[in-house]
Amino acid sequence: MVQGLSPNIKEALKIALVQGDKATSIKTTQEAISQGISPMLIIQEIVVPVLTEIGNQFENLDIFLPELMAAGEAGNACTSIVEEAILKSGNQMQSEGTVVIGTVKGDIHDIGKNIVSSLLKAHGYKVIDLGKDVSAARFIDEAEANQADVIAASALMSITRAGTRDVADLLRDRGLKDKYLYIIGGGSITQEYADEIHADGFSETGSGAIDLVKTLMAHKRGE
């Protein structure tokens, strides 16, 4: 029988997520599922609202990148357990979507990418983070391997932003332009540049990137 969320579980998981305590987040999620609590309830009533609040705190400089990343990782771990539980029950998890993200070839700056990656996780997306100095081919190969919805490429420097164009060009040349939503960002990127290379979207900020992905995904689904 499916149970509602007890205040104890809710509080314990909330604290674990806020503290970025991955081990306790996993343990509490497993306990909750074993007690018959609906897996989706855990995501909808705890993980997403708590991590959204953490994202807001980051924007206000109340917390910093390490805390944001740790919370994102803990949230991701919870989501994986929930996903596993749903699959075991013979159902399919309605994921927000899968995003392959990285900093382009030649660019060794990854803070902006890390912020977007953590915020995406916090909003329930499955994120394949390729790190930095990522070739155009690898972005696409990983998107193919993970059945991604979105490819997100970051470039901080004006002299490395050509790497974002390379991803766009390779998507076109491999006939995959319409298969993936391609978004770009970073200090050297503007809306004009995104239009020039025919990217599907651009965001100046981390929170803006989440809104952008949501909007593009909704549009793709025909919502």
Partner 1 sequence: MIDFVEVIERARTGKIYTPEQWDTEFIPGVVRELLKKYRIEKTYDSENPISSDDALADAFFDAGLELAERTGFYCETTRRAISFTRDEILEAMGEKIPFIVFGSHPDQVTMWARHPEDSHPPFAFLGPLGQVIDEEIWQPVHQSVAQYRVVDGIVPGSLEKIKGKLIRTGSPLETLAGHHEAVLLHQAVEAVGRSSMPLCGVETSPAEYGHFGGFGTPGGYTVHDCSIILSVSELRTTYGLMHKATHLQILGAPIFSGHRSMIGGNVGSPEGCAVTAVTAVLLQILVHRAHIPGGSTFDIRFLCDSSRESIWADCISGQAQSRHITRPLEGMMSVVGGACTDMLLDELISRGVALVVSGRSCIWGVRTGGGARKNRATGLESKFAAETLKAAAGMTRKDANDLVKNFIPKYESFLKKPQLGKPFNECFDSNTLQPTDEWKAIYLRKLCELEDAGMKIK
Tally of CB atoms within 10 A around 41 = 16
Q: What is the CA radius of gyration of the chain?
A: 18
Minimum CB distance to partner 1 smaller for 37 or for 197 = 197
Q: How far is the CB of 55 from partner 1 (least distance, A)?
A: 12
Minimum CB distance to partner 1 smaller for 17 or for 33 = 17
Q: What is the DSSP letter of 101?
A: E
φ/ψ region of 129 (left if φ > 0, alpha if ψ in -120 to 50, else beta) reads beta
**Cβ–Cβ under 8 Å, residues 138 and 144:** no
Cα–Cα distance, 38 to 31 (Å, whole number): 12
Minimum CB distance to partner 1 smaller for 42 or for 189 = 189
Interface residues with partner 1 (CB under 8 A) are: 58-59, 61, 63-66, 69-70, 105-109, 111-112, 115, 157-160, 162-163, 165-166, 187-190, 192, 204-205
Q: How far is the CB of 195 from partner 1 (least distance, A)?
A: 13
Q: How far is the CB of 39 from partner 1 (least distance, A)?
A: 28
**Cβ–Cβ under 8 Å, residues 89 and 62:** no
Q: Closest by alpha carbon to 35, among 3, 72, 83? A: 3
Q: How far is the CB of 220 from partner 1 (least distance, A)?
A: 28
Minimum CB distance to partner 1 smaller for 12 or for 189 = 189
